[in-house]
Amino acid sequence: MPVSRPSCKFIISFLVFFVQVAGLTLLAVGVYSAKNATGVAGRYIEARLGKPSLVRDTSRLTIVEALKHPIKVGKRFMSKPQDALEGVVLSPKLEERVRDIAIATRNTKKNKGLYRNILMYGPPGTGKTLFAKKLAVHSGMDYAIMTGGDVAPMAREGVTAMHKVFDWASTSKRGLLLFVDEADAFLRKRSTEKISEDLRATLNAFLYRTGEQSNKFMLVLASNQPEQFDWAINDRIDEIVNFDLPKLDERERLVRLYFDKYVLKPATEGKQRLKLAQFDYSKKCSELAKLTEGMSGREISKLGVAWQAAAYASADGVLNEAMIDARVADAIRQHKQKMEWLKTEGGEKTKGAQPPAHSPSEGTSCTCLGTGKCFTWLWYIFGPGSLFF
Ligand X SMILES: Nc1ncnc2c1ncn2[C@@H]1O[C@H](COP(=O)(O)OP(=O)(O)OP(=O)(O)O)[C@@H](O)[C@H]1O
Catalog residues that contact Mg ion under the rule CB under 5 A.
128-129, 181
Give the list of residues 6+ apart from residue 5 with CB closer than 8 angstroms, or none.
none
Tell me which residue of 166, 115, 163, 119 sits closest to 139, measured CA to CA.
115
Residue nearest to ligand X (CB): 297
Contact between 185 and 225 (Cβ < 8 Å): no
Q: Which is nearer to ligand X, 205 or 257 (CB)?
A: 257
Residue nearest to Mg ion (CB): 129
Work out what residue 327 binds among Mg ion, ligand X, none; the CB cut-off runs from 5 to 8 Å by kind: none
In the complex, what is the shortest distance from the CB of residue 295 to ligand X, in angstroms, rounded to a whole number?
10
Work out what residue 125 binds among Mg ion, ligand X, none; the CB cut-off runs from 5 to 8 Å by kind: ligand X
Work out what residue 89 binds among Mg ion, ligand X, none; the CB cut-off runs from 5 to 8 Å by kind: ligand X
β partners of residue 180: 146, 221
In the complex, what is the shortest distance from the CB of residue 250 to ligand X, in angstroms, rounded to a whole number?
7
DSSP 289: H
Work out what residue 166 binds among ligand X, Mg ion, none; the CB cut-off runs from 5 to 8 Å by kind: none
Q: What stretch of H or E contains 97?
A: helix 92-110
In the complex, what is the shortest distance from the CB of residue 185 to Mg ion, in angstroms, rounded to a whole number?
12
Q: Which is nearer to ligand X, 224 or 320 (CB)?
A: 224
**3-state helix/strand/coil string of 335-385:** HHHHHHHHHHHHHHHHCCCCCCCCCCCCCCCCCCHHHCHHHHHHHHHCCHH
Q: Which is nearer to ligand X, 205 or 263 (CB)?
A: 263
Q: Which is nearer to Mg ion, 243 or 262 (CB)?
A: 243
* Residue 209 CB neighbours (<10 A): 18
Tell me which residue of 244, 253, 298 sits closest to 93, measured CA to CA.
244
Q: Which is nearer to ligand X, 117 or 214 (CB)?
A: 117
Q: Which is nearer to ligand X, 168 or 380 (CB)?
A: 380
Contact between 362 and 381 (Cβ < 8 Å): no
Q: Which is nearer to Mg ion, 55 or 205 (CB)?
A: 55
Residue positions counted in the chain: 389
In the complex, what is the shortest distance from the CB of residue 254 to ligand X, in angstroms, rounded to a whole number?
6
Binding residues vs ligand X (CB under 6 A):
87-90, 124-130, 181, 222, 224, 243, 254, 297-298, 301
Work out what residue 301 binds among ligand X, Mg ion, none; the CB cut-off runs from 5 to 8 Å by kind: ligand X
Helix axes of 197-209 and 157-169: crossing angle, nearest 10 degrees: 20
Amino acid identity for residue 37 in this structure:
A
Work out what residue 204 binds among Mg ion, ligand X, none; the CB cut-off runs from 5 to 8 Å by kind: none
Work out what residue 205 binds among ligand X, Mg ion, none; the CB cut-off runs from 5 to 8 Å by kind: none
**3-state helix/strand/coil string of 101-160:** HHHHHHHHHHCCCCCCCEEEECCCCCCHHHHHHHHHHHHCCEEEEEEHHHCHHHCCHHHH
In the complex, what is the shortest distance from the CB of residue 130 to Mg ion, in angstroms, rounded to a whole number?
8
Work out what residue 88 binds among ligand X, Mg ion, none; the CB cut-off runs from 5 to 8 Å by kind: ligand X
Q: Which is nearer to ligand X, 148 or 175 (CB)?
A: 148
